[in-house]
Amino acid sequence: MKTVASYEKNLTQLISYIQAASDQQLIVAPEVCLTGFDYEHFDQAANFYLEAITRLKPLIDNQILILTLVKSEDDKIVNQAVVIHNNRVVHRQNKYKLFKLGNEQKYFDAGDAEAIKPFRIDGITYGLLVCFELRFKTLWKQLEGVDIVIIPAMWGKTRKQHLEILSQALAIMNQCFVVVCDSANDDMAKGSAVIHPWGEVYINDDAEVIQHTIDLKEVKKVRRLINMH
């Protein structure tokens, strides 16, 4: 998904993707896809949070939607990952590792490392890392044992190889599925992918949307074959 200047157009585009994926169980959107890092209009971006959540929640019943948004919280501005399921937000996680090359620390308050932990929906265990957080092996360890790690990202194309190698390594190391969703903006890496616990990568940068089936039996099989504990 590309992010344009109009927040409303971005939200309308995301809603159209959601409606087209009514038969899909899990939907992941890129990091701050509705506003981008619009620092010149940061208050406006934060104010759009409530509008977006209010319109997205009714669309997500049995499905799961994961995205991040700019949010004002306790007089701070955070980059908050939200998980919507059964028409409500079931998990929130503020970005902990801010990308200093992009000056994120000048505008956002960092979340807590302790918030990066597994959460369960319908018997499946998930974990979340937001973009730059993928680079930190200590955070990988905090998500050991999950079935699926989700990575919403705005990862630059000059470091595309890093995104692809690190996300594949995470899948192999933690013996889980990894779902990466990166922005398709011209300066971004794209690289959205579903990576299997054995390291196989499903990726197609030419596709507007990628869809792939996850069989969680693979997680059990890999962990049984190669016991890392």
* Cβ neighbours for 48, distance < 8 A, ≥ 6 positions apart: 7, 11, 34, 35, 69, 70
Cα–Cα nearest to 7, from 53, 58, 48, 56: 48
Position 68 scores a pLDDT of 98
9-10-14 Cα angle (round to 5): 115
Beta-bridge mates of residue 179? 150, 194
Contact by Cβ (8 Å): 174, 146: yes
Per-residue pLDDT of the chain (229 residues; tens, 9 = 90+): 999 999 999 999 999 999 999 999 999 999 999 999 999 999 999 999 999 999 999 999 999 999 999 999 989 999 999 999 999 999 999 999 999 999 999 999 999 999 999 999 999 999 999 999 999 999 999 999 999 999 999 999 999 999 999 999 999 999 999 999 999 999 999 999 999 999 999 999 999 999 999 999 999 999 999 988 7
Walk me through the domains of the chain, giving residue ranges and CATH numbers: 7-225 (3.60.110.10)
Distance (Å, whole) CA 3 – CA 214: 27
Position 228 scores a pLDDT of 83
Contact by Cβ (8 Å): 34, 11: yes
Distance (Å, whole) CA 190 – CA 32: 14
Burial class (CB in 10 A: 0-12, 13-18, 19+), 93: buried
* Cβ neighbours for 52, distance < 8 A, ≥ 6 positions apart: 7, 11, 34, 69
The pTM of this model reads: 0.96
Contact by Cβ (8 Å): 159, 189: yes
